[in-house]
């Protein structure tokens, strides 16, 4: 299975199953047969639709049931390569909620559609949705987690996925900016200075007598790097508070673009918080197993020396 988002998100959109692959499947004995639950799932879903008197369910050839809730045919459809943002509630058929954006301040989740970033059933369901549409997806296990399981989702589970397509964009610039502005509002930050690049600079300690940072300077900084949920992923405090030094404006850059730009706005002795959109951070590749693709980052920085 492949990790897609920070661990703050479960689980539903963290892992996309790859046909014939995945760490769980490779652990099975070589000739062990994996049961096909397609027929059983089809029977269960047919009964579920009948028992709940769902009259507008549209069964797809894949076994997915698509149930439109709100449809706006004049709005654009989700198409491959677009960055889509969704609100969702994920349940088992017994009604148990195991993940939902409502559990995270109703912050929409954004990802590039059509790039195998989410479960196959979600991808297929989104293909039938327009901007602003709401729908319910009844996803057979083969289009969900299959034989994989977690604490909250048993193996071979059918998933009920309630979804709203809230935004469609050509890049992460708009979703990232929305996330940052939500963060600022939630934390009552009113002094943020938005730069043309999309970086938000929040001064916390100003030192007008300090040496200003300029391109070519070697600066030493103390910093704490966090995700928007407050999780710290790196900090100089984790390394005996030893300052980190780099050359500002170097080609190629010594640090991510947003960090470089933010420090260039500071003077010696100043402190600031940088809210860095993903395009100025680690972009679509992320950074190892620590920073997922297309992640907004927060850095608290203190410039301790400028040379």
Residue 224 DSSP SS3: strand
- H helix intervals, 99-212: 120-126, 173-186
Where do the domains of the chain lie?
Answer: 2-169, 173-306
Are 254 and 35 in contact, with CB atoms under 8 Å apart?
Answer: no
Residue 162 DSSP SS3: strand
Asked if 2-169 and 173-306 have one fold, the answer is yes
* CATH T-level topology, domain 173-306: Chitinase A; domain 3 (3.10.50)
Which residues lie across from 111 on neighbouring strands? 84
Query: Six-digit token pair at 288?
Result: 């190892």
- Mind listing the pLDDT tens digit for each residue in 133-169? 999 999 999 999 999 888 889 999 999 999 999 999 9
pLDDT given at position 117: 85
- Mind listing the pLDDT tens digit for each residue in 164-217? 999 999 999 999 999 999 999 999 999 999 999 999 999 999 999 999 999 999
Q: Options 3.30.1330.40, 3.30.70.2740, 1.25.40.80, 3.10.50.40; which CATH number does 2-169 get?
A: 3.10.50.40
């Amino acid at each position: 299975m492949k990790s897609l988002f920070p661990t703050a998100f479960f689980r539903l959109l963290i892992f996309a199953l790859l046909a014939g692959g995945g760490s769980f499947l490779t652990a099975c004995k070589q000739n062990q047969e994996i049961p096909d639950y397609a027929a059983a799932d089809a029977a269960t879903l047919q009964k579920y639709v009948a028992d709940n008197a769902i009259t507008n369910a549209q069964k797809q050839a894949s076994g997915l049931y698509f149930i439109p809730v709100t449809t706006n045919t004049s709005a654009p459809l989700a198409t491959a390569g677009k960055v889509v943002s969704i609100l969702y509630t994920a349940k088992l058929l017994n009604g148990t909620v195991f993940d939902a954006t409502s559990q995270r301040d109703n912050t929409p989740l954004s990802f590039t559609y059509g790039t195998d970033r989410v479960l196959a059933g979600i991808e297929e369901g989104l293909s039938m949705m327009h901007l602003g549409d709401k729908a319910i997806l009844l996803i057979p296990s083969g289009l969900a987690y299959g034989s994989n399981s977690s604490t909250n989702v048993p193996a071979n589970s059918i998933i009920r996925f309630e979804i709203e397509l809230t935004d469609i964009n050509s890049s992460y610039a708009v979703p990232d900016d929305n996330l940052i502005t939500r963060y600022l509002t939630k934390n009552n930050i009113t002094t943020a200075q938005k730069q043309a690049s999309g970086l938000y600079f929040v001064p916390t300690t100003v030192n007008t007598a300090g040496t200003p940072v300029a391109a070519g300077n070697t600066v030493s900084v103390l910093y704490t790097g966090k995700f928007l949920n407050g999780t710290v992923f790196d900090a100089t405090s984790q390394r005996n508070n030893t300052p980190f030094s780099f050359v500002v404006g170097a080609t190629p850059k010594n640090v991510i673009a947003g960090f470089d730009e933010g420090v260039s706005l500071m003077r010696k002795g100043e402190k600031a918080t940088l809210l860095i959109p993903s395009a100025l951070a680690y972009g679509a590749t992320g950074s190892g197993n620590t920073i997922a693709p297309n992640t907004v980052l927060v850095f608290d920085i203190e410039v301790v020396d400028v040379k």
